[in-house]
Structure 1
Amino acid sequence: MQQIGFGGSCHWCTEAIFRSLRGVQKVDQGWIASDGGHTQPSEAVIVHFDENEIDLRTLIAIHLYTHSCTSTHSMRGKYRSAVYTFDKEQNKFAKAAIRKLQADFGELIITEVLPFVTFKLNDENYLDYYYKDPSKPFCQNIVNPKLSALLARFEKYIAPEYREQLARL
């Protein structure tokens, strides 16, 4: 089992996206801190995945395509666009993957590749936020469009147990 951290938008959105994928065994949702010059933790997830079912390059591509990876805005401190790596090899791989994916985007990808340092899990009542009640207004208005983008571009990676639900979006 491998793990990688992702931040970029609300952790409820990011959690729902990665939880919907085959090969992802678990998604921890909360805040990640890094020693990459950022003293404040930002909303993020840790994705635990089976590399025999879904590879790291695909996960990085999904991350870039499902949040504003080219956009700087006033909330970037809270919603840092980042890939949090757990070792030097993973860090090097993530940087190379983003460089290759840059050709797919019209603007510069601002997503940073940062070493993981600490993680704080969110309160239990906010975990699995989307799948506990997808009818909530936030889920309908904010999460669903991101899941629709996931489905449109990465349909073959959707876990079978979520296909029918996501197909109704």
Structure 2
Amino acid sequence: MDNKKTETAIFAGGCFWCTEAFFTDLKGVEKVTSGYIGGKTENPTYREVCTGNTGHAEAIKIEFNPDEVAYEDLLEIFFATHDPTTLNRQGADVGTQYRSEIFYTSEAQKLAAENFIKLLADQHIYDKKIVTKISKASVFYPAEDYHQDYYAQNPNQPYCSAVITPKLDKLKKNYKSKLKS
């Protein structure tokens, strides 16, 4: 019998190909699923979400063991790997589906996210105001199969090699102790 504790964290920080790649190799992370959350359309498709009309964000659902990785560690990496000061945009990706948003699954996560954003603001980590929203998690819809583990399966795809690889290299350098061996 498996008595491992797992919790769920859901983050939207731009293209889910990017965000998924950052969390997959973290110690304590059991599974990362790319998908859609925060909109009004049931079972949206990638094509529908790309129109910006569904209200969904591209997001990742992280299943993690809180005994091995703290939610605050996940928040730290979330904020270190995207720009939380740009509204509905990450780099060249523009639209509400690329917004910065934390979808909490417990009151403790809500409080942790609020405190983390306050800490970043108080320490003036960013030159501009943090626009990351904090919302109660609604239904998370897994994205189509070809979006899952996208970077791992397509590291030489131009977007991946130009955008994700450099960020991933920086993450591996700065967070080496938090990564699976």
What band does the TM-score fall into relative to the shorter chain?
A: 0.7 to 0.9
Q: Which amino acid aligns with 1:68?
A: D
Runs of 4+ in 1 over 3 A off after TM superposition: none
Match of residue 113, structure 2, among 94, 98, 109: 94
Question: In structure 2, what residue type is equivalent to 1:149?
Answer: K
Deviation, 1:76, is: 4.4
Please report the TM-score for the alignment, with normalisation by the length of structure 1.
Answer: 0.85
Give the CA deviation at 1:69: 1.1
- Quote the residue 2:65 is aligned against: 50
Find the partner of 2:20 among 15, 20, 28. Answer: 15
Deviations along 1:93-138, one digit per CA (max 9) or x if unpaired, are 2111221133233322211111100111111122100111312212
Deviations 1:23-65 (A, max 9, x none): 1000110111169xxx711100011111111111111010011
Distance in 1 between residues matched to 2:35 and 2:88, nearest whole Å = 21
CA–CA distance in 2 between the matches of 1:159 and 1:48? 15
**Alignment check: 8 A CA contact 2:104 2:110 kept:** yes
Moved more, 141-150 or 41-50: 141-150
The equivalences for 1:43-82 within 5 A come to 43-72=58-87, 75-82=94-101
- From 122, 127, 152, the equivalent of 1:106 is 127
1:167 maps to none
Q: Is 1:152 matched with 2:173?
A: yes
Residues 60 and 98 in structure 1, CA contact (< 8 A), matched pair in contact too: no
Q: 1:32 aligns with which of 37, 44, 53?
A: 37
* C-alpha contact 2:88 2:100 (8 A) present in aligned 1: no
Residue in 2 aligned with 1:132? 153
C-alpha RMSD of the superposition: 1.9
Q: Deviations over 1:9-32 (max 9, x none)?
A: 100100110112111000110111
Report the number of matched residues: 158
Could you list the runs of 5+ residues in structure 1 that have no partner in the other structure?
161-169
The separation in 1 between residues aligned to 2:39 and 2:109, in whole angstroms, is 15
Q: In structure 1, how many angstroms separate the alpha carbons of the residues matched to 2:88 and 2:105?
A: 27
Give the number of the structure whose alpha-carbon radius of gyration is greater: 2
SS of structure 1 residue aligned to 2:97: coil
Whether 1:141 aligns to 2:141 is: no
